[in-house]
Structure 1
Amino acid sequence: MYPSETTFGPGQPERRNLSNDLATAVAAMIHRESLQPGDQLDSVKALAERFQVAVPTMREALRRLEAMGGVLLRHGSGVYVGDNVRRMVLPNPLSPKPTGGVLIELLEARLQIEPPIAALAATVRDPRGVGSMRSTLDEAQRCIAEGDEQLWLVNLNFHRAIAAAGGNTILAEVIDSIVFVHAEEQLEILRLHGDQERDFTEHRQITELIEEGDAQAARRAMAEHLDNVIQIVRRRLSD
């Protein structure tokens, strides 16, 4: 169930969940008003007033939706409904903070799914997906340099771009569904991992192998990357 606009204002949920709740509410508004991909929404300021939140808070929620393909933010133009809005499944805003066991299960599931997708991406090398991988790497580098908290969303976009580079829409939707349903878990994993530079370096290596068309090496690099994350998160959870 989506929260409505009346959820916000005085008595707001805690900051950790507010962006998720807002993103969910905006998605609900899009569905309720039968808006279609490409339709323009109100301005960020107008949406902030509608949901009774600060403009930066609304912008953060919209960027979360943009990372999931739910909306598109066009600089100097406005906010538009994204292509993925009709198949988005957003997390329950009342869900508790994810447990360590759930985080490990999520990573182990990704370890089974994503290495073969990386191999497929290296075989197909869909130009749009490869271009998106490069764009997200550039954006991740900027986030690291500037200390931008949106890095976690950019990293999720990187993994979505790999699926897109494989040219298989069903596999791309599988990765999307993981991103949509487990966004809070992904954020917690990034916080526990803590090593932004190492994460970026491993992402860049995977990108280069995919671009070179080395399917086996790309598969192996993705498996090693996710296994490294699992080991680090396990250690952090046991500290």
Structure 2
Amino acid sequence: MRIRPSAALEERIIELIHERDLAPGTAMPTEPQLMELLGASRNSVREAIRALQALGIVDIRHGYGTFVGQASLNALTASLVFRVRSRAGQRIRAIHDLVEIRELIETGLIGDVAKGRTSDARLAALEALVTAMAHDLGADRAFHALLYEGCGNELVLQLIGLFWDTYHDVEHILGEPADRTEEILANHRLIVSALRDRDPDAARDAMRLHFRDVRNRIARAESEAAAEPAPTVGAAADSPEAS
């Protein structure tokens, strides 16, 4: 073993996983074995394993043991939500940055998807998800996941899901959305139509149009926030939140 004794215990466990070339789903050494290998106490090993579980690096299956995890990026959703909500006075800007990154990823990818042939079955599934969006928010997430499912890039799918989940966890910061369901559905149908025609330019334009709605909502929220008078020191001290 070439595990550095000076590294944090979590890092040393990760090094052990790599050193032994343990694939996701493989059983980890037992707790007593980790204690002996790492020269650490039972409590220290347990704390390190719990920390790695939070990151998805290990998977604790009660009654079965500890296994190497998938390290899904979904574990980062809570961190991103915290990052946005903890930016006092800059939350809307943080949402803007989040949406901008997702738009860059999806606009770049959709052209590549449109260059290839999208099967009739997948086009039908995308159309069905668009119809379901009228009453099911989860259909929107599933739509964007299905768009890129054939790319063969698992990281892309996880990133898009991560940004989608984070945005919808903090969306309320932007205020109540206008009811523009029909226009939103129409925008998604434009994406499907571009895929059917195998038209990369039309696909990119449709995706930009889709994100334009979100960017306009963010811009309105920024304008409204800028127009609000700043609270005075006295008012802040008298407010219930200041107590």
Please show how residues 52-91 of structure 1 align to structure 2 within 5 Å.
87=72, 88-91=74-77
Q: Deviations over 1:22-51 (max 9, x none)?
A: xxxxx99x943279xxxxxxxxxxxxxxxx
CA distance in 1, matches of 2:218, 2:145: 21
Q: What is the TM-score normalised by the length of structure 1?
A: 0.53
Shift of the 86–111 alpha-carbon distance from structure 1 to 2, 3 Å rule, reads closer
CA distance in 2, matches of 1:112, 1:197: 25
Percent identity among equivalent residues?
Answer: 18
CA distance in 1, matches of 2:164, 2:213: 20
Matched, 1:137 2:130: yes
Count of matched residue positions in the alignment of Structure 1 and Structure 2: 159
CA distance in 2, matches of 1:190, 1:133: 29
CA distance in 2, matches of 1:190, 1:131: 34
**Residue aligned with 2:148, SS:** helix
Deviation at 1:133, TM superposition (A): 2.1
Show the counterpart of 2:169.
Answer: 184
Q: Which one has the largest radius of gyration? A: 2
CA distance in 2, matches of 1:212, 1:34: 50
What amino acid is aligned across from residue 135 of structure 1 in structure 2? A
Q: Which one is further off, 179-188 or 169-178?
A: 179-188
Deviation at 1:202, TM superposition (A): 0.3
Q: Is the 8 A contact 1:123 1:215 kept in 2?
A: yes
Q: Deviations over 1:77-118 (max 9, x none)?
A: xxxxxxx97623253288374721111111211221111211
Q: Is the 8 A contact 2:95 2:167 kept in 1?
A: no
Shift of the 92–228 alpha-carbon distance from structure 1 to 2, 3 Å rule, reads closer
CA distance in 2, matches of 1:233, 1:162: 25
Q: Deviations over 1:109-136 (max 9, x none)?
A: 1221111211122122454754542332
Please show how residues 154-169 of structure 1 align to structure 2 within 5 Å.
154-169=139-154
Q: Is the 8 A contact 1:123 1:166 kept in 2?
A: no
Show the counterpart of 2:180.
Answer: 195
Match of 1:102 among 90, 94, 100: 94
Deviation at 1:213, TM superposition (A): 0.8
Matched, 1:229 2:201: no
Shift of the 32–202 alpha-carbon distance from structure 1 to 2, 3 Å rule, reads same
Show the counterpart of 2:195.
Answer: 210
Shift of the 194–213 alpha-carbon distance from structure 1 to 2, 3 Å rule, reads same
Root mean square deviation, CA, Å: 3.8
CA distance in 1, matches of 2:126, 2:172: 20
Q: What is the TM-score normalised by the length of structure 2?
A: 0.52
Q: Is the 8 A contact 2:92 2:221 kept in 1?
A: no
Gaps of 5+ in 2: 1-54, 64-68, 225-243
Match of 1:32 among 37, 44, 60: 60
CA distance in 1, matches of 2:197, 2:175: 28
Q: Is the 8 A contact 1:116 1:219 kept in 2?
A: yes
Matched, 1:112 2:104: yes
What amino acid is aligned across from residue 133 of structure 1 in structure 2? L
CA distance in 2, matches of 1:167, 1:223: 23
Shift of the 138–190 alpha-carbon distance from structure 1 to 2, 3 Å rule, reads farther
CA distance in 2, matches of 1:206, 1:136: 12
